[in-house]
Structure 1
Amino acid sequence: MTRPDVTATIDSSAEDDDTHVFDWIDMLLQHGVMTGLIFAITLAIGVAYAFLATPIYRADTLIQVEDKKPAALAGVEHLADALGTAASPVTGEVEILRSRGVILKALEKTGGLIQVRAAASLPLIGDWLERRRALSGASAGSPAALQISELRLPEGYLDSVLVLRSLGAGRYELQDKDGAKLGQAEVGEALAFSLDSGEGGIVVSALRAEAGATFEIVRQAPLTAYREVLRNLIVAESGRDSNIIRVSYENPDEGYACELVNAISTVYIEQDVARRSAQADQSLKFLSGQLPDIERNVERTENALNDFRTRTGTIDIDKSAGALLQRAVDVEKSRLELQLQRDELLQRYTPAHPAIKALDNQLAQARRESDRVSELTSKVPADQRDLLRLQRDVSVGTQLYTALLDTVQQLKLARAGTVGNARIIDMAVRDALPVAPRKSLVVLMAILLGGALSIAAATVARQLRPTLRDVEEVERLTGLSTYANIPESRDQQRISQARNSSGKPSQGLLALQYPDDPAVESLRALRIGLAFALLGARGKSLVVTGPTAGVGKTFISANLAVLLAGSGKRVLLIETDLRRPQLGGYFGLPRGHVGLSSVLAGEASLAEAIHVQPVESGELHVVASGPLPPNPGELLLSEAFQRLLNDVQDRYDHVLLDSAPVLPVSDTLAVTRHAGSTFLVLRAEQTTLGEVRAAVKKISGAGGSVNGLLLNGVMRRRVRFSTSYSYYYQYGRRR
């Protein structure tokens, strides 16, 4: 029976997702120093700003705008509502509150046009120290220690800095922006001085500072001050159609923020009351001017009616004409009222204003209605028609005169007690809690920004120097087989640190001291793999080299040789790196010990150069580099080296050659020409694809060949997720 392929049904999408995440983590760890430094600097800047930046305070007030209109305009407002042209009473009030007329008046009341600050100090830190001294009561250089009640400057010196220096005992000295002395005075004394563009003066009302304390004084130009306030001022309706306006202002001085907001709202209310009072005065003046004419017209129409009755003997109109009379009176009264309203509005608006146009439409309709009444009146007998007309004029005039008298009285009362259509609901109060900077948010943003910059920097670094990371990537990009996947070893790091700190030759072989280390197990797997990799090789010699220095070739050579010797093989390890030898340190041999250079120069025999290293189940023969020669390349190209290599291959099962890196020098090319096989050591996260290709090309060009790759220093995360080693690691730890 055929069994299903279980492995084909495994969904690897979750593993791929995890790998993608770990790739990002791995990229950050690869450039850990750089990314950590970027993150730390960004976070430090954010924390410093959060705790050292000048706090910003907010003050706000609430103003209610009531929809009150002057009595004379009531008809117009009803008309606007009917036409759908009425606007919210808040619409224009917001802009009035933001206007120069209101804000500059408030600045004058609060002295906001005069800016006082302590003499220039370090950004952030200087302000923070000044605030700390102010809280402890020891600050004598803060702006609050100096109060100026008057400062007059010519226009050319507006927005320019003057320097005031305390002389002690309530005296001070004033200097201009160039440091020239303008004069000295005492607190409360007026100081007049001359400047290039005119005369100036100052009155200091309070000075609480020690001798030597300096302040910078600026009288801002009105437009400059207005723009500065506007940047930090928010005026908006608090809720849709609520008719309530919220005025908010932010400033480093919570007291001044509160004072300015209250001044703005107070100035606005005062101007609103004055505007309403002016409107009432204007309407009263207009109506008072109309009353004499209307009164004379009423007297004239009454006399005409009496004369008509006396002449004709007619006392009253009949019943049918009475209804017509009432209709005529209503129409004419409405027309006259509309005309009065139009005349009044024309004193403030142009004929193109929507309210005027609406009244024009109403007047046209009233005239058409009056024409229809006149047409009906023409059908009445002549005596009745004349009597009807005269009674209509008297009735309309009397009612209009009475209404105007009533309106005048109302306007007089309104003028006497005008309160405007706005009132302050909540005055601004001091709030000791700053609204900025929000420390937690700033720190959070610094963390996010630091992380983003770190990732970006690591990504750019990887793009600029793309390194090889794992076996799959190495084999896919190079086309060469990888025979070892050797993880990082913390135990080897401890051995290296101990050897370097002692300063003396000392043995430090991972395979002997920590045989259960995962890196050693990887080398055991390599030992087994070599049995197949070396089949058909032209000799028993094996070159271990790398594209560049620092890839760990000597570490692999030494420990692999120990493992091969421990399996009962006769193994000789020769250090052919005659420029920067490192192999002797692994076996406790001092620098300059008799070695390969001594043998090739004829100064010693091979037997004298061999160091015997006992290992489990055998021994390892080691030949170090020896004294550094002046001509390492010539020695390796010599016939003596070739004879030596042929001789030892007949006597040993394995001959390992720890050779110099390929790209910096050409010594290794002389070795690989005569060696049976060559393995290139790569360092994960360090060696680039270009370096591998260049090394392979260089070896091939010299007549050698690369049989395989050894990937060293693989991060444990990659190894932990590698099926080949995962079980061993867990088992080895429990063992």
Structure 2
Amino acid sequence: MRDDKDDFINLGEIIAVLLEYKWLILAVTFLAVFIGAVTAFVSTPIYRADALVQVEDKKSAKGGLAALRDVEAVLGDSTSVAAELEILRSRMILGRVVDRLNLSIRANPDYFPVFGRALARRYNGDEPAAPFLGLGTYAWGGERIDVQSLEVPSYLQGLPLTLIAGDNNTFTLYDDQDMRLLDGTVGEAAASADGKTTLFIAELVARPGTRFNLARVGQTQAIGALRENLEVRERARQSNVIEAAYSGPDRAQVEAVLNEVLNAYVRQNVEYRSAEAEATLGFLEAQLPELKGQLDTAEAAYNEYRQNRGSVDLTIETQSVLGSIVKVDNDIVVLQQKRDELRQRFTAEHPQVKALDSQLSRLRAVRGTLDKDVNRLPDTQQTALRLRRDVEVATALYTNLLNSAQQLRVARAGTVGDVRVIDAAATAPLPVAPRKALILLLSGVLGVLGALGLVWAIRSLRVVVEDPQTIERELSLPVYATVPASKDEAQLSRAIARGKADKSQLLAIANPDDDAMESLRSLRTTLHFALLGAEKGSVLITGPAPGVGKSFISKNLAAVLAQAGKRVMLVDGDLRKGHINKAFGVPRGMGVSDYIMGVAGLEQIVKPTGVDNFALVTTGQIPPNPSELLMHPRFAELLAELEKQCDVLIIDAPPVLAVSDAAIIGRQVGATLLVARAGRHPIRELEQAIKRFDQAGVEVKGFVFNGFDLTRQRHRFGYEGYHYQYKYKA
């Protein structure tokens, strides 16, 4: 059947895991917040200046000047806001700003990496700050430099240059290869030996030896940097109001740059409008002398004809034809002028040019018809008509052109542009970035998420046994006792390591009511059943690997059995690293190895522990061949003699997967118990330990599960999470 518990999200288990790794989570979160705080501290503040510009409709801008509406087609259509946005970002405008403010020259003090700039920003003194930790080449606050001009050859353009301040307002400039370029004095122009590099510094405030970073970049690069920090957009749809903003680290500079951008934009707009009227006026003024000459010639010819022929009056028919011819000729001339103006801007295939060509063709056809009517008149009337026509046409053209030129002069003088600045640039008092509170909040959140991810990774990679039910389910062996982790035992172990050992160092004596001791009392009861049917009354306690607490189980189980009235002997069978003697404050010498080698007798190796009914046999001198000694017949004889003198004999052996000693001892005892520690072993490791005993012909009776975390179990739901306590209190 399918276990429904596998699909159940155990909230208690999640809480228990979080509490188990709470210090890791707190450490990672604190580290993330600390990094966020450092980032917020060292990040350069960014200030933002903004301004408003109105793009006016050209028709409304001309107001009631009705006379100027006649030249509206010449001055162009109303301004497009989208086009103005592109003009604001164009190289034409930004290039003027770069040149006027020297933005292609970059000059900054050389700050110490990471936190030097942050310390310098927080310095408020009038004089340059003293060097920190003797690092005098770096700037620490209060340094200033004003570079008015810097010219370098093309191969140095864009490369970093280094300027070092000297005594008495002197300085030295080096290239990117630390080769000296020039020496100079503040307020005086300086040049290199070949004259290709020139530098003029108006102000330099710094300690001698302070380094500054200089660079001369190309205009295109400077315009790109300016455009990157410039924002322009229409404030609201069809509002004709443009919002411009500029961001940068220097609060005063961002305002100055944005104001200069607006000034250059307004100047360009006015210049463009004036240039349109100027170009058209120039064209008309070039035509006026020619038309005046034609008018004078026509009047002279007409007057001469009348003097020679006497007064010639035109008939009514001739006057009608004359009026038509004059009107058509005037229209042709006006259209031809418009076509010439359009051809200055468009090709002959443009729709407007082609439309004028079509109108001119129709007028020329009408003019041809009128010429046929003139040919039917008498010769005298034809000549008088032709001369009179030339005078009237030239007079009309000259008068109209003169009026248009005068109107354009008025338009040129009154040009104010289509745009105006509503709000000049203003910088907010506080920086817009970095947002320190948000950085700290995000770093905390990311720290928690990172810590949870780390915990998940650890849990996913650590496939270990966490509860005794896994051992019973996977290995089909009983777990005789589950021993909780004890804080008191950890303190006692540290005391033993410092060499302060007496009988009170044993947890069963120092704190008999500890939860771990209650579990060992349970093991004392179940141990009786483990020895049923065994030929010997001895118990081997070992583990698969070091550090599982087998010695802790051995000595405290022996003490618990002794407290119950049993005669107990504990043998330290770890002839390699045995240390149980330290817990009782007795020397290692005269023990198991000495008995096997015949150096000591049984009475000499059995040592009291200070606990009634509890004796100890130490390892003796550490031999070079412990496995061979344990296989000696005298070891089996030793165990047999000790069993006769006690009710329970407990042997603490080294880890079975590390050495073969435990398997050798296991053949000489009545029962073998494996100690497993919670969260320490993969299940395969425990299987391997049992297999090692099986290969040696030793049957493992069961397990003692050590180091069980009760704090974690309190948050679990279900049977596995319960651990009962029942204590008497005075």
TM range (shorter): 0.7 to 0.9
* Pairing 1:472-483 to 2, within 5 Å after superposition: 472-483=469-480
Match of 1:150 in 2: 149
The one-letter code of the counterpart of 2:700 is V
The one-letter code of the counterpart of 2:156 is Y
Match of 1:209 in 2: 206
Match of 1:720 in 2: 714
Unaligned runs of 5+ in 2: 60-67, 131-138, 307-311, 371-375, 377-385
The one-letter code of the counterpart of 2:662 is T
Match of 1:83 in 2: none
The one-letter code of the counterpart of 1:719 is Q
1:58 alignment partner, SS class: strand
CA distance in 1, matches of 2:93, 2:360: 45
CA distance in 2, matches of 1:315, 1:646: 160
Q: CA deviation at 1:549?
A: 1.0
Distance 1:278 1:654, change over 3 A: same
- Is 1:547 paired with 2:544? yes
1:628 to 622, 627, 633: 622
2:274 and 2:415 in contact (8 A); partners too:
yes
2:193 alignment partner, SS class: strand
Distance 1:343 1:210, change over 3 A: same
Report Cα offsets for 1:348-399 as digits up to 9, x if no partner: 34567xxx54x4797799899999x99xx9xxxxx9xxxxxx9xxx999999
1:118 and 1:143 in contact (8 A); partners too:
no
1:603 to 582, 586, 599: 599
2:413 to 411, 416, 422: 416
CA distance in 1, matches of 2:650, 2:347: 107
1:258 to 255, 275, 283: 255
2:669 to 675, 682, 685: 675
- Is 1:579 paired with 2:538? no
Match of 1:6 in 2: none
1:233 to 230, 234, 237: 230
Match of 1:685 in 2: 679
2:416 alignment partner, SS class: coil
Q: CA deviation at 1:555?
A: 0.9
Report Cα offsets for 1:250-304 as digits up to 9, x if no partner: 3222222222222222212211221121122233345566789999999999999
The one-letter code of the counterpart of 1:168 is D
CA distance in 2, matches of 1:338, 1:464: 89
Report Cα offsets for 1:579-612 as digits up to 9, x if no partner: 11122233x2333243333333333343443344
Q: CA deviation at 1:158?
A: 1.5
2:19 and 2:712 in contact (8 A); partners too:
no
CA distance in 2, matches of 1:242, 1:478: 80
2:143 and 2:206 in contact (8 A); partners too:
no
Report Cα offsets for 1:462-510 as digits up to 9, x if no partner: 5555333233444455454433332221121222233333545554222
CA distance in 2, matches of 1:52, 1:360: 64
1:281 and 1:415 in contact (8 A); partners too:
yes
- Is 1:19 paired with 2:21? no
Match of 1:445 in 2: 442
Distance 1:20 1:129, change over 3 A: closer
The one-letter code of the counterpart of 1:100 is R
The one-letter code of the counterpart of 2:702 is G
Match of 1:132 in 2: 122
CA distance in 2, matches of 1:524, 1:72: 114
Unaligned runs of 5+ in 1: 1-9, 81-85, 318-324, 378-382, 384-389
Moved more, 592-601 or 360-369: 360-369
Distance 1:337 1:699, change over 3 A: farther
| Aligned residues between the structures | 693
Match of 1:467 in 2: 464
2:16 and 2:713 in contact (8 A); partners too:
no
The one-letter code of the counterpart of 1:173 is T
- Is 1:222 paired with 2:213? no
1:162 and 1:174 in contact (8 A); partners too:
yes
Match of 1:91 in 2: 82
2:343 and 2:353 in contact (8 A); partners too:
no
Match of 2:133 in 1: none
Moved more, 602-611 or 717-726: 717-726
- Is 1:569 paired with 2:566? yes
Q: CA deviation at 1:528?
A: 3.7
CA distance in 1, matches of 2:295, 2:479: 120
CA distance in 2, matches of 1:604, 1:471: 42
Moved more, 336-345 or 62-71: 336-345
Q: CA deviation at 1:679?
A: 2.1
Q: CA deviation at 1:123?
A: 1.0
Match of 1:164 in 2: 163
Q: CA deviation at 1:564?
A: 2.8
The one-letter code of the counterpart of 1:235 is V
Distance 1:623 1:395, change over 3 A: farther
CA distance in 2, matches of 1:485, 1:398: 124
1:501 to 489, 498, 501: 498
Report Cα offsets for 1:442-474 as digits up to 9, x if no partner: 333333444444444455555555333233444
Question: What percentage of residue pairs aligned between the two structures are identical?
Answer: 34
1:705 to 699, 704, 713: 699
Report Cα offsets for 1:614-658 as digits up to 9, x if no partner: 66xx63333232332332212221222223334444554433221
* Pairing 1:363-374 to 2, within 5 Å after superposition: none
- Is 1:640 paired with 2:634? yes
The one-letter code of the counterpart of 1:694 is Q
Moved more, 409-418 or 270-279: 409-418
Distance 1:350 1:614, change over 3 A: farther
CA distance in 1, matches of 2:241, 2:533: 95
CA distance in 2, matches of 1:721, 1:601: 54
CA distance in 2, matches of 1:267, 1:43: 46
- Is 1:558 paired with 2:559? no
The one-letter code of the counterpart of 1:635 is L
Q: Over aligned residue pairs, what C-alpha RMSD do you find?
A: 4.8
The one-letter code of the counterpart of 1:273 is V
Report Cα offsets for 1:26-72 as digits up to 9, x if no partner: 4x45xx66x77655554433322221233222223322222327957
Q: CA deviation at 1:670?
A: 0.4
Distance 1:637 1:269, change over 3 A: same
* Pairing 1:53-452 to 2, within 5 Å after superposition: 53-68=43-58, 89-119=80-110, 121-134=111-124, 137-139=127-129, 141=139, 145-195=144-194, 199-286=196-283, 313=316, 344-350=341-347, 356-357=350-351, 359=352, 408-452=405-449
CA distance in 2, matches of 1:461, 1:623: 42
The one-letter code of the counterpart of 2:53 is I
CA distance in 2, matches of 1:257, 1:601: 92
CA distance in 2, matches of 1:285, 1:468: 97
CA distance in 2, matches of 1:125, 1:517: 53
2:152 and 2:197 in contact (8 A); partners too:
yes
Q: CA deviation at 1:732?
A: 4.9
The one-letter code of the counterpart of 2:225 is E
The one-letter code of the counterpart of 1:627 is Q
Distance 1:606 1:419, change over 3 A: farther
Distance 1:730 1:210, change over 3 A: same
CA distance in 1, matches of 2:293, 2:261: 49
